Amino acid sequence: MLTTDRVAGGALVLVALLVVWESRKLPLGSFRTPGPAYMPIVLAAILLVFGALLAITGGRAALVASVGWAEWRHAVAIVLVCTFAAVALERLGYRVTVAVALAFLLGVVERKGLVFTVAFSLVLAIGSFLLFDTLLRVPLPRGLFGL
Amino acid sequence: MVETLSNLAVGFSVALSPPVLLYAFVGCVVGTLVGVLPGVGPLAGISLLLPATFGLDATRAIVMLAGIYYGAMYGGSTTSILMRIPGEAASVMTCIDGYAMARKGRAGAALAIAAVGSYVAGTVSVIALMFLAPPLAAFALRFGPPEYFALLLLGLLVLAYMSAGSMLKALAMAALGLLLGMIGIDQMTGYFRFAYGVVELGDGIGVVPVAVGLFGLAEILATAGQPTPPEIIKPRLRELLPSRREWRESASPIGRGTVLGFVIGIIPGSAHIISSFVSYAVERRLSRRPEEFGKGAVAGVSGPESANNAATSGAFVPMLALGVPSGPIPAVMLAAMMVHGVSPGPLLIKNQPELFWGFIASMYVGNLVLLVLNLPLVGLFVNLLRVPYPILYPSILMFCILGVYAVNGSVVDVWIMLAMGGLGYLLRKLEFETAPIVLGVILAPMLEMALRQSLAMSDGQYGIFLGRPISATLLAVGLVLVLLSLKPLITKSLDWRARLAMAEKGENLP
């Protein structure tokens, strides 16, 4: 049966194998004088053992099918917004990026009214910029257009 | 004793200066808000507000961040008592009897007892911190790389042992965190590891994007689509005074919770959660009327709330004296101190006494500020909860992005936060704890450096760890913990960690 522990254990084994594969480019050193790849490989081996143990002993954990994903639409939208923010932050500037991201979440995902969405997005984007950049002197990106 | 008191006097001269007092106050208010709002725990709160301290000197910055930390511990009880929603994880146990008291019309009394218990525990544990940290730091001057390696390894083992649920899962998460901590330039040879040409990864992945991703973004991803919170029970100011019987019943639990919380706080692990759980279990065991627990027992509020606040100060002991964080929140505090050029460890108290003692004194002041602030303003804080979550979470998300970007002015950190948020979301679904990952990320470079320096000292002989009494003792304790964790597998019984996991899920304890 596919349980949560078995899925997680399998994923951890894959991560461990990936680390071992990627470590081949680095000098391993020796048991007495470890090189840069030594610790990652030791840790990957430990992770591999833990992952395998989880996969073997995880038969009594909850079934993967029983895990609820009711919020997946919101989760996908939030991941998209974060991706947009990472791409746009330095190109469009903090204020434009945050205003657009908020407008999307409030207007499209949460279906709030147009006036509220626009007003709230602008106030939060400009207000947080004023607080952090202007008052607290934390430099925030202005983007290509100086916004 | 006289020296400690004269140092404390110096500390108060720093803490009571108007600018430091102002930042302690701001930290306490923000911390209370962080604690009240479900989904923004102290870890994400401190991480997000770290950039706001960049313009401050080290003392003010640390005082403000510490204020956020213990302010969140106070604030977390409000939502637990009035809504049965823990504002932060350590308030889980308060939900049970705090909410039951609120339903009986004793919400004000429960809030007052939680606040007074938190104040007493906070103040007493600061006294303990004041007397314990300097001798521990003096002792730690004897530590070399082998002792630090053993200490860090023990820290990870204790964290895994103290985590709710399976130790195997917690250890796997710690190993994953340590692997993430391997990213970046190898400090001894200069090789880039797993950076794939991204220059920003040279310094490794920061603890702030990891913490905000795993705790802040993952929480938003998991809760944004959930139904809105239940109705809030709003207390009246005149109901805030507990009865004489309630005071009497809460006195001993506050004392016991303070001692338990402080001791558990020193030990690595999710100290706040564990301390409140242990306190609840102890109070129920000692009570003459255990049947009242779950139905509004005063001791079920006063004990756990005192314990989780005392644990806050306890967690500062290894961080300040040894430079070793005992959990994810002290790890972020440690990173914050490093950002401000402060290196916690045995030499901190000697080299920067005004910072250390100013910090200690500010905790006395902060606890008083919180007591004065929390009770009269509880109505105001509760009103925050009336903001619908569909409006609240986009705002919190924007602050996550802002906070993570601003630490290094790098978009790479936003990508790391996003990756960690996705990972944290999936791990929550699979019922894994993510705290060991955060600790692993920060301990990895220290652990590797200590190992390689030890081997360099001993000409490659691993026996150095067993040949030195302190490191051998620490490793022996670690081995005992691993063996203890195997006990439930043999006896087929529920140990305290399994019970804690059940309590966190809201399941009935057998």
Please report, for chain A, the start and end positions of each structural domain, with discontinuous segments joined by +: 4-66, 72-135
Cβ distance of B411 and A86 shorter than 8 Å? yes
Mean pLDDT of B101-125: 86
> Tell me, what's the pLDDT at B392?
83
User: Which residues in chain A touch residue B406, judged by CB atoms under 8 angstroms apart?
Assistant: 132, 138-140
List the single residue in A with minimal CA-CA distance to B167.
A50
> Tell me, what's the pLDDT at B45?
79
- Mean pLDDT per 10-residue section of chain A, whose length is 147 residues: 90 96 91 91 95 90 85 92 95 94 94 94 93 82 81
Cβ distance of B179 and A82 shorter than 8 Å? no
Q: How confident is the model at residue B472 (pLDDT cuts 50, 70, 90)?
A: very high
Residue B89 · residue B352 · CB < 8 Å: no
Statement: residue B415 has pLDDT above 90: yes
pTM of the model: 0.80
Distance from CA of A1 to the nearest CA of B (A): 15
Mean pLDDT of B269-283: 74
- Token pair of B450, please? 């200590």
d(CA B67, CA B60): 10
Note whether residue B510 is domain-resident.
no
**DSSP for B15-73, written as a single string:** HTSHHHHHHHHHHHHHHHHHHHSTT--HHHHHHHHSGGGTTS-HHHHHHHHHHHHHHHH
- Residue B270's nearest CA partner among B425, B164, B408, B348 is B164
Q: How many domains does chain B have?
A: 1
Q: Which range in B86-90, B253-257, B314-318, B441-445 is most confidently predicted, on average pLDDT?
A: B253-257
> Tell me, what's the pLDDT at B323?
81
d(CA A113, CA A124): 16
C-alpha distance across the termini of chain A, in Å: 54
Mean pLDDT of B114-142: 84
pLDDT tens readout for residues B350-397: 788 888 888 888 888 888 888 887 777 777 776 776 778 888 889 888
Q: 10 Å Cβ neighbour count for B58?
A: 18
Among the ranges given (A105-114, B15-24, B83-92), the one the predictor scored with the smallest mean pLDDT: B83-92
Residue that has been written with the tokens 């961080």 in this structure: B319
Q: For B202, which DSSP code?
A: G
Distance from CA of A147 to the nearest CA of B (A): 15
Tell me what ipTM this predicted complex has: 0.94
Distance from CA of B430 to the nearest CA of A (A): 5
Distance from CA of A144 to the nearest CA of B (A): 15
> Tell me, what's the pLDDT at B345?
79
Residue B214 · residue B423 · CB < 8 Å: yes
Distance from CA of A2 to the nearest CA of B (A): 12
Of residues B225, B393, B402, nearest to A73 (C-beta): B225
Q: Coil, strand, or helix at residue B234?
A: coil
Q: How confident is the model at residue B271 (pLDDT cuts 50, 70, 90)?
A: low
Of residues B394, B448, B451, nearest to A105 (C-beta): B394
Query: What does pLDDT average to over chain B?
Result: 82
Statement: residue B509 has pLDDT above 60: no
Of residues A36, A98, A106, nearest to B189 (C-beta): A36
Cβ distance of B221 and A71 shorter than 8 Å? yes
Helix axes B299-322, B58-83, angle to 10 degrees: 160
Cβ distance of B394 and A90 shorter than 8 Å? no
List the single residue in A with minimal CA-CA distance to B187.
A36
> Tell me, what's the pLDDT at B334?
82
Cβ distance of B414 and A86 shorter than 8 Å? yes
**DSSP for A95-113, written as a single string:** HHHHHHHHHIIIIIIS---
Mean pLDDT of B148-171: 79
Cβ distance of A50 and B397 shorter than 8 Å? no
Longest Cα–Cα distance in chain A: 68
Mean pLDDT of B36-61: 77
List the single residue in A with minimal CA-CA distance to B223.
A71
- What is the domain range of residue B352? 2-505
Cβ distance of A78 and B397 shorter than 8 Å? yes
Chains A and B form CB pairs within 8 A to the count of 171
User: Which residues in chain A touch residue B225, judged by CB atoms under 8 angstroms apart?
Assistant: 70-75
User: Which residues in chain B touch residue A46, judged by CB atoms under 8 angstroms apart?
Assistant: 175
> Tell me, what's the pLDDT at B500?
61
**DSSP for B477-504, written as a single string:** HHHHHHHHHHHHHHH----HHHHHHHHH
d(CA B45, CA B400): 9
Over pLDDT 90: what percentage of chain B? 13
Mean pLDDT of B316-327: 80
List the single residue in A with minimal CA-CA distance to B393.
A105
Distances (CA, A) of A9 to A49, B134, B164, B430, B502: 9, 43, 18, 10, 22
- Residue B441's nearest CA partner among B252, B254, B174 is B174
Residue B428 · residue B165 · CB < 8 Å: no
E strands present in B309-374: none
Distance from CA of B429 to the nearest CA of A (A): 7
pLDDT tens readout for residues B204-251: 898 888 888 887 888 889 888 776 555 556 666 566 778 888 888 899
